[in-house]
Amino acid sequence: MLPFERVTILGTGLIGSSLARAIRNRMPTVRLTGYDRDAAVAARADELGLFDDMADSAGASVCDADLVVFAVPVRAIGAAAEEIAADLPRDAVVSDVGSVKASVLKAMAAAIEGPDRIVPAHPVAGTERSGPDAGFAELFENRWCILTPGAEADARNVERVSEFWRRLGSEVELMEAGHHDMVLAITSHLPHLIAYTIVGTASDIEDVTSSEVIKYSAGGFRDFTRIAASDPTMWRDVFLENKEAVLSTLQRFTEDLTQLQRAIRWDDGDFLFDRFRETRDTRRRVIDAGQDTAAPDFGRDRR
């Protein structure tokens, strides 16, 4: 038996459209309804045939759903939840895919009656692209999906959402929302902040022209540019909604950076060597865990 039969996705960008494609492939009898506030995005999702129906309003999109998923930037989730609250069937389960969880859980719980049916989710899978054309069905396969239900969530609803993600090919883990935000601050949010910083710094260095930065980017810079090309709205929201965890992780990072700076200044090669040997081991563990390709240079084709 399917965990859900009538799924509504609000926000039909990268993640919403990937979700729709994955559901189509893996649970073809599910009735899919989409809604996007941006008329051009909605029209494109319609043209791509991703949904059975594209609704004209948020309220209309949910009136027959048994699962509603918010796939909009994290700061937009509260307002979107308010927009559907009056039209939501009493037994519908409500979820999301937001990259930050404590504030999103709070925002959904404030807008929607029945905390037993709120089961937030975060598929730890994505790309630097956005919009419905960027989505693809395999995005969630062999990736983790972290669920962060509050204490009042009904265990049966948590199990249904877990089963939903397992059917899309993900591995599911339950986590307390605040802990999720600490974990993702170091594994996702800080790496993005660092990439945004270094790409910005490169364009501000007086003695190096911007055409030189681009021309010689294969020295390492270009790998940061992929992450730094990520969606500005989405990432502005992530940093503002996970402020405390990001700032405390950033504090640790700054201290560690200062240590490396000292080691360079004082010619402490042993310190540098030991640190770099440890980080190489971390890369090996990421590959062993199936979270990236083992091919050198991310498997870029040089032919």
Ligand X SMILES: NC(=O)C1=CN([C@@H]2O[C@H](COP(=O)(O)OP(=O)(O)OC[C@H]3O[C@@H](n4cnc5c(N)ncnc54)[C@H](O)[C@@H]3O)[C@@H](O)[C@H]2O)C=CC1
Ligand Y SMILES: O=C(O)C(=O)Cc1ccc(O)cc1
Q: Does 130 bind ligand Y (CB under 6 A)?
A: no
CA distances from 293 to 254, 286, 299 (A): 29, 9, 7
Q: Is residue 173 at the binding interface for ligand Y, with CB under 6 A as the rule? A: no
Subset of residues 225 to 254 that bind ligand X, contact rule: CB under 6 A: 231, 234, 238
121 binds ligand X (CB under 6 A): no
Alpha carbons 170 and 164: distance in angstroms, whole number: 9
Residue 24 interacts with ligand X (CB under 6 A): yes or no: no
Q: Count helices and strands (H / E) in the chain.
A: 13, 8
Does 130 help bind ligand X (rule: CB under 6 A)? yes
User: What is the DSSP code string of 43-100?
Assistant: HHHHHTT-SSEE-SSHHHHHTT-SEEEE-S-GGGHHHHHHHHGGGS-TT-EEEE--S-
Place of tokens 């199936």: 290
* Minimum CB–partner distance for residue 135 and ligand X (Å): 8
Candidate segments 118-126, 193-201, 242-250, 257-265, binder of ligand Y by CB under 6 A: 118-126
User: Which 179-208 positions form the footprint of ligand Y (CB under 6 A)?
Assistant: 188
Q: Cα–Cα distances in Å, from 270 out to 92, 165, 277?
A: 59, 46, 10
Among 22, 50, 72, 168, binds ligand X (CB under 6 A): 72
Judged by the rule CB under 6 A, the positions of this chain that interact with ligand Y are: 99, 124-128, 188, 227
Judged by the rule CB under 6 A, the positions of this chain that interact with ligand X are: 10-16, 35-38, 41, 58, 71-74, 76, 79-80, 97-99, 123, 126-127, 130-131, 231, 234, 238
